[in-house]
A and B are shown apart, each in its own frame.
Chain A
Amino acid sequence: MEFPEELKYTEEHEWVMVEEELAVIGISDFAQDALGDVVFVELPEVGTVLEAGKAFGVVESVKAVSDIYAPISGTVEEINEDLIEAPEIINTSPYEDGWMIKIRMDDASEADKLMDAEAYQALIAEES
């Protein structure tokens, strides 16, 4: 399982890649593996205002429905339309092709509060 060093992570197993005022968000390798085959993704519309800690979308595996939570507050700039047709990309490429949304952050410093790769790996070692 991979946890790229350049990303930040949440306790709910999302990852965040910060690019100046923008943040790209997806779910971690651990999360996709725990879910199993992803068969449906529901993402917010562009322009939706997200609040940190609140659910912004849904990912469904064959067996289960899981909410995805906003790691940071902001406004949706772009969504990954490819996931609508091919949600399984989240399984095959959780950190690259499987990104979910790009947001414009209200306050980029919120990202500093998230976990780095090392802290996240320690967390999932506890959980599993």
Chain B
Amino acid sequence: MKKTPLNQVHRELGARMVDFGGWDMPVQYSGVIDEHQAVREAAGLFDVSHMGEIEVSGSNALAFIQHLTINDASTLIDGQVQYSAMCYPTGGVVDDVTLYRFNASRYLFCVNASNTDKDFAWMEQLLADSAMTDVVLTNRSDEFAQMALQGPKAETILSALTDVALADLVYYHFCEGEVAGVKMIISRTGYTGEDGFELYLPASAAVEIWQQLMTSGAPHGLLPIGLGARDTLRLEKGYALYGHELSQEISPLEAGLAWITKLDKDDFVGKAALVALKAVGVPRRRVGLVMQERGIPREGYPLFVGDREVGVVTSGTMSPTLKIGVALALVEPDVAKAETELEVAVRNRRMVAKVARPPFVK
């Protein structure tokens, strides 16, 4: 199994470790609910070093990225981040990504851990097929450790360790600066719906920076956070997770990512299929579900209106904030309207849920 540079730190903290797509990762430390609340109310520190980083450089970097991704990267300025995705010609999703622009000839993709090799191979193949020159692809995933510092106290905690003017760093922007003497990428992004930062740093400095952040954060209630709470935090905000809401079989138009699918942009991989899909109408839509009864919707549970099966849960959990079951689901378009009542087949029973527009927790 692959290990991040912080593997030993997690073990010393008593984390419960799991195999997450081939990575030995902490699923929880003190407990999922405790960690979840810490991020909502104070701050949490996540090891996300398993995420992949792929650099695209050269004078044709932007042209290649425009061909590769569904969002419009030409709108990015230096130091800005964009949420985007790569599609297959069929319109199915290769991966969802964040894209960092350093300058006109240097960009960095952050990609899902278990997709890193697939994504890099996909990019290399597209580049070869495109016959574009002066584009260089570099898989830098092993060089970087990545940590997410998330929660309302994140800025206070990080500012004690850096001279960077964090108050001026706005959401979905980044800069390069020193934290505790280590040069890194400081990005005002995250996957929790809270204010916070994602830090990209040399793998060799990971342990030192983790300890410094934990020490700086302890008086503010900072806790280490595992993958369990990472999932409940993103679900309460309705964020998609590859392999659940997004996949090779699910297009961004169905997955609720029409807002990043720029069909008016010049040709890109998957555009023709997505334009055609939009013209005929998507066969299913991603929605949120809020349980109206005690019971927890789980991935794979079918959804019904009367005897008619209308969809399936793609991710579900008990919301630690709301104390009720919430889910993301793919359903047929005629039952996708907010407030529509559906039934979730929970084992041998049917439980009522209402369609709702995420975020479930504002």
Contacts and interface: CB of A to CB of B under 8 A. Distances in A.
Contacts of A39: 33, 296, 318
A1 interface: no
A37 B295 CA distance: 15
Interface in A53-75: 58, 60-63, 65
Interface residues of B, number: 18
A37 B31 contact: yes
A61 B16 CA distance: 15
Contact of B28 (A36, A40, A60, A84): A36
B298 interface: yes
A42 to B, nearest CB: 8
Given A36-B31, A39-B318, A58-B347, A65 B298 contact: yes
B200 to A, nearest CB: 28
Contacts of B232: 62
Q: What's the interface size class on A, roughly?
A: 10 to 19
Contacts of B32: 36-37, 61-63
A61 B33 CA distance: 10
B228 A40 contact: no
Contact of A60 (B31, B33, B228, B296): B296
B27 interface: yes
A42 B348 CA distance: 12
Interface in B17-74: 27-28, 31-34
A37 B33 contact: yes
Nearest to B295: A40
Contacts of A84: 294
Contacts of B31: 36-37
Interface in A61-116: 61-63, 65, 84
A58 B348 CA distance: 12
Interface string A33-59: 000110110100000000000000010
Interface of B is mostly: mixed
A60 B295 CA distance: 9
B289 to A, nearest CB: 16
Contacts of B320: 62
Contact of B294 (A40, A63, A65): A40
Contacts of B296: 39-40, 60, 65
A62 B33 CA distance: 8
B272 to A, nearest CB: 40
B27 A63 contact: yes
Interface in B312-347: 317-318, 320, 347
A36 B26 CA distance: 13
B347 A36 contact: no
A77 B152 CA distance: 49
A47 B295 CA distance: 23
Contacts of B27: 63
Contacts of A61: 32
B224 to A, nearest CB: 15
Given A36-B31, A36-B228, A62 B294 contact: no
Contacts of B295: 40
Interface string A1-40: 0000000000000000000000000000000000011011
Interface string B252-273: 0000000000000000000000
A92 B318 CA distance: 19
Contacts of B294: 40, 84
16 contacts: A36-B31, A37-B31, A37-B32, A39-B318, A40-B296, A40-B318, A60-B296, A60-B318, A61-B32, A62-B232, A62-B320, A63-B27, A63-B32, A63-B231, A65-B298, A84-B294
Interface of B: 16, 27-28, 31-34, 228, 231-232, 294-296, 298, 317-318, 320, 347
Given A36-B228, A42-B347, A63-B27, 9 more contacts: A39-B33, A40-B295, A60-B318, A62-B33, A62-B232, A62-B317, A63-B228, A65-B296, A65-B298
Interface of A: 36-37, 39-40, 42, 58, 60-63, 65, 84
The 5 closest A-B CB pairs, nearest first, are A39-B318, A62-B32, A37-B33, A40-B296, A37-B31
